[in-house]
Amino acid sequence: MSRAFKALLFSCVLFSICVSISFAQTCKTYAFTGNRAYSSCQDLSVLSSYLHWSYNQSTNKVDIAFRHTGTSTSKWISWAINPQGEKMIGSQALVAHQNSSGLIHAYTAPLTSYAVSEGSLSFGVSNLEATFVDGEMSIFATLTLTSSMTTVTQVWQEGPLSSNTPGSHDTGSNAANMRSMSSLNFLDDQTTPTSSGGSVNSKLRKRNVHGVLNAVSWGTLMPLGVIIARYLKVFKSADPAWFYLHIACQTSAYVVGVAGWATGMKLGSEASIHNYPHRNIGITLFCLGTLQVFALLLRPKKDHKYRLYWRIYHQAVGYVVIILSIVNIFKGFDLLDPDKKWKKIYTAILIFLGFNAAMLEAFTWYIVIKRKRTNSEKYPSYENGANGANGANGYGGRSQGV
């Protein structure tokens, strides 16, 4: 048991370190190649994008670098300033995509309509270029603005290419492309939400809190608690430690999960558009999780005649909760559209838990079969009697159950 327990603790520590490192990977920690360096930067709220800039107040020139991660050469990207207000039409855009020669082409495009056409902007643009490296497309430029343009509306986009021409981006009601707008002050490194986007920073912060709480609780601690209950109890020396570890893990998951659920309900009450599948699954999870808590309080004793039925119910509901949790977390990723690394990190966590569960499952059956053979050899006269049925619950002659 000690080796398995140490491995479990090491896995939890490793997971915490990975998450901490990932959180540190923001625009402020990014290092450009060559001699490029910028004094300010901003993690943009959606579309896995970042803006870096250096503003010279004496000349009203600003060097900018717009980065979009997790993309491909089959897409186009754009960053724009709109002097006319908080909308897309009228934006003065910098656009980049791969051309017919296979090179990344950057150009300016004043948006007089929803079609993107190359043309001059209302302010000066120089040193315009674009790069594509390891799934990240970037636009670099120097803008010559007026003294009144220190605070501007910025718009950023991505979309598919159609015959080497920018096609229409996603316009769905929940699409991140419909929220990619904010007010930018070149004199600092903070963006302020626009009225069209609502309180973007505040809502985004709540959404991020909602997502993190639920991914950690329902999506990670709950499966981990099930793994503890199913596999640690096969070790005789782990009884009753496995039970208390299971309870601690699931109780923590429930408390954190309720906080995440409540945050989601608050966000839903403030939204004008609802994603009912995500919302309904969340409510179902809360109800099932609450039932599991009450089931713990009403757990019959091991020798009670209803203990078998309680165990079947408890395990069935537990597995349903895990499946629904994982499905809903991925639905949440699609709605929130965070940097693609978070989805990859959570997928890696699931793969890690699944792999360890598969290994422990095989090891568990090995121990069960070995014990059964040992008992049969030790007590041959009871081979088909009471001891012969001891393998029925998958854990030898010991009556187990959460």
108, β-bridge pairs: 94
Q: What pLDDT does residue 390 have?
A: 45
* Per-residue confidence (pLDDT) for residue 394, from 0 to 100: 44
pLDDT band at 351 (very low <50, low <70, confident <90, very high): very high
pLDDT score for 398: 44
- pLDDT of 67-93, one tens digit each? 999 899 899 999 998 877 766 777 888
pLDDT bucket at 326, cuts 50 / 70 / 90: very high
Whether the CB-CB separation of 253 and 217 falls below 8 Å is answered with yes
Q: Are 89 and 162 in contact (CB under 8 A)?
A: no
Sign of CA dihedral 69, 73, 74, 80: positive
pTM of the model: 0.49
DSSP 1-25: -HHHHHHHHHHHHHHHHHHHHHHH-
pLDDT tens by residue, 85-131: 766 777 888 999 998 888 999 999 888 777 788 888 989 999 999 99
3-state secondary structure of 36: coil
381 burial via Cβ count (<10 Å: 0-12, 13-18, 19+): exposed
Q: Which residue has the tokens 């309720």?
A: 258
**7-16, 43-52, 156-165: the lowest-pLDDT one:** 7-16
Give the per-residue pLDDT at 48: 87
Query: What are the CB-based long-range contacts (under 8 Å, 24+) for 102-106?
Result: 104/73, 104/130, 104/131, 104/132, 104/137, 105/130, 106/130, 106/139, 106/140, 106/141
pLDDT in tens, 190-244: 444 444 444 445 666 777 888 889 999 999 999 998 888 888 877 777 778 888 8
The alpha carbon dihedral of 169, 173, 175, 180 has a sign of positive
Q: Is the pLDDT of residue 281 over 80?
A: yes
